[in-house]
Chain A
């Protein structure tokens, strides 16, 4: 298990705004003070703008934005699908539902695979979180949350715990036990506390830390054992709906997507936003890193999925069709990154050829919106969850 130590922030009263927050050291005229992350960011910004007026700031923002556009455009010498013209086309796909997991009493909102490639955790509007064995379709664990709309759930890397949350504004961790006499709910540990709904959560490389995204516009990194806030990420202008951690080889970053139509890439250690992308025309419901970590895909209410390359710092492909007018709720890549699976609000799953930009297959089966979709850890299957109360495993 990876031992990542992050700078543990002191928690106390900010020297500037006096609110009780996680603090970091700042230096003003050689004096060390403790500021919260917001005051620290404002101070950094202030240092650059002594006597700026609102108007001059606005014009600087505009000119920087057009400069960024220009710089990005200069490097846009070709389209991804042009580079892929000579790549062999994919054959016919025969993917069908192999298992249907029934048991939720209401809309399935989220699901995640266990690293053992067979167990699945799912959460629902009815407040229930269920752990399934996808091979046998047996339910192995079930817990009822004190709230409805459990919008996020995640499996711990060890397979020994799950995390979930939603309208309770929290992220809670439940250890999984096979002792029939133990009540799962009794061992519940509240880890994260936001000021609005929890929209997404993910363990980092170990069971010790959890990353959360919330309707309060922030993302946060928490220590599971103590519940302490390790780092907070501010920058989205509206609800954050999704997040995904970079594959471990690529280092400590993650991407988030929100209702402000932006996808933002963050440095987990510093809390800083490294890059941001704003080409979608509506809420971004899902973001997923490409297997190499050099790119990520997004699915949006604007009915498109897009691929953003991090080294080129721009969108490099758009997956859309005139006939697709409903939002994409969830996206994931196949093992090699050749296929992009996307679940839509029109009840279908579209399979896209990532390189050529064309749709290779459309899968029917769900009887309501597809709300969540993940490919299994070894790439042999993928699972979709829907408002029709079921989950389907496709292979």
Chain B
């Protein structure tokens, strides 16, 4: 059912305070159970991948290597001389 343009759909007001303590806990436990099942990787492996990703791209990163003044679109506007 399409919502007419004059009926702006309101965001359901789910204030956490409206739920009972028990309901909040039930949702929290359900969420935690899901998160506990997550497949995780070693930090060493993930860090190695982050390092490799950066090293591969660092050379082309304008803010890291700097931009020559003449190629920088934000270079100071030079004065003009009329000869």
Contact = CB atoms under 8 A, between A and B. Distances in A.
A115 interface: no
Contacts of A379: 61-63
A290 B63 CA distance: 16
A42 B23 contact: yes
A61 B28 contact: yes
Given A95-B63, A336-B54, A312 B9 contact: no
Contact of A217 (B15, B36, B61): B15
A36 interface: yes
Which of B25, B34, B55, B75 has the most chain A CB within a 10 Å cutoff? B25
Contact of A12 (B1, B13, B43): B1
Contacts of A46: 26
Which of B53, B54, B66 has the most chain A CB within a 10 Å cutoff? B54
Interface string B6-48: 0011111111100101110111111111111010111111111
A232 B63 CA distance: 37
A21 interface: yes
Contacts of B74: 98-99, 134-135, 380-381, 393, 395
Contacts of B73: 118, 135, 380-381
A78 B38 contact: no
Nearest to B75: A98
B54 A355 contact: yes
Interface residues of B, number: 60
A245 to B, nearest CB: 19
Given A68-B32, A98-B75, A75 B64 contact: no
B41 A312 contact: yes
Contacts of A282: none
Contacts of B9: 11, 22, 193, 227-229
A220 B29 contact: no
Contacts of B15: 195, 216-217
B40 A313 contact: yes
Contacts of A76: 43
Contact of A37 (B10, B12, B34): B12
B57 A44 contact: no
Given A312-B41, A312-B43, A337-B50, A382 B63 contact: yes
A234 B57 CA distance: 37
B58 A336 contact: yes
Contacts of B76: 98
Interface stretch (A52-60, A145-153, A177-185, A318-326): A52-60
B16 A334 contact: no
A38 B12 contact: yes
Interface in A74-101: 75-80, 83-84, 87, 90, 94-95, 98-99
Contacts of A54: 21-22, 25
Interface string A186-204: 0000101111000000000
The 4 closest A-B pairs by CB, nearest first: A336-B57, A98-B74, A45-B26, A336-B61
9 contacts: A22-B12, A68-B36, A80-B50, A83-B48, A84-B51, A218-B12, A295-B50, A336-B57, A337-B53
Interface of B: 1-3, 5, 8-16, 19, 21-23, 25-36, 38, 40-51, 53-58, 60-64, 66-67, 72-76
Interface of A: 10-12, 19, 21-22, 36-38, 41-42, 44-46, 48-49, 52, 54, 57-58, 60-61, 64-65, 67-68, 71-72, 75-80, 83-84, 87, 90, 94-95, 98-99, 118, 134-135, 170, 190, 192-195, 214, 216-218, 220, 226-229, 232, 234-235, 237-238, 272-276, 290-292, 294-295, 309, 311-314, 316, 334-339, 354-355, 375, 378-382, 393, 395
Given A57-B25, A229-B11, 5 more contacts: A38-B14, A45-B30, A48-B33, A226-B5, A314-B40
